Amino acid sequence: MARVVVDVMLKPEILDPQGKAVHGALDRLGFDGVASVRQGKRFEIELDGTATPERVAEIERAASTLLSNPVIEDFALRVEP
């Protein structure tokens, strides 16, 4: 059983109102010294069997089409041991 983690974040040039709201809440609750907050999604995908390069390439294809919107989001994929 292998695990692939896909992190999906808004591209840096896209406004992130969710992150801004969290940043505002941190300020109001007295957590100082935060310059910015951005919020994204994390997917933990468990594969049957091992993470062969073909399987990982397929998950990468899924990440770029189903898990993220390539117009406004970037994703990072890594295989966890």
Among 20, 26, 56, 73, binds its own copies (CB under 8 A): 26
Q: Does 20 bind its own copies (CB under 8 A)?
A: no
Tokens of 13: 């040039």
Binding flag, residue 38, its own copies (CB under 8 A) = yes
- Between CA 10 and CA 75 the distance in angstroms is 9
Q: What is the dihedral of CA 18, 38, 63, 3, to 10 degrees?
A: -110
Q: Nearest approach, Cβ of 25 to its own copies (angstroms)?
A: 6
Q: Shortest gap between Cβ of 71 and its own copies (angstroms)?
A: 19
**Site residue total, its own copies (CB under 8 A):** 34
d(CA 21, CA 31) in angstroms, rounded, equals 14
Return the structure tokens found at 80: 């966890």
Residues that bind its own copies (CB under 8 A): 1, 7-9, 19, 22, 25-26, 29, 31, 33-49, 55, 58-59, 61-62, 66-67
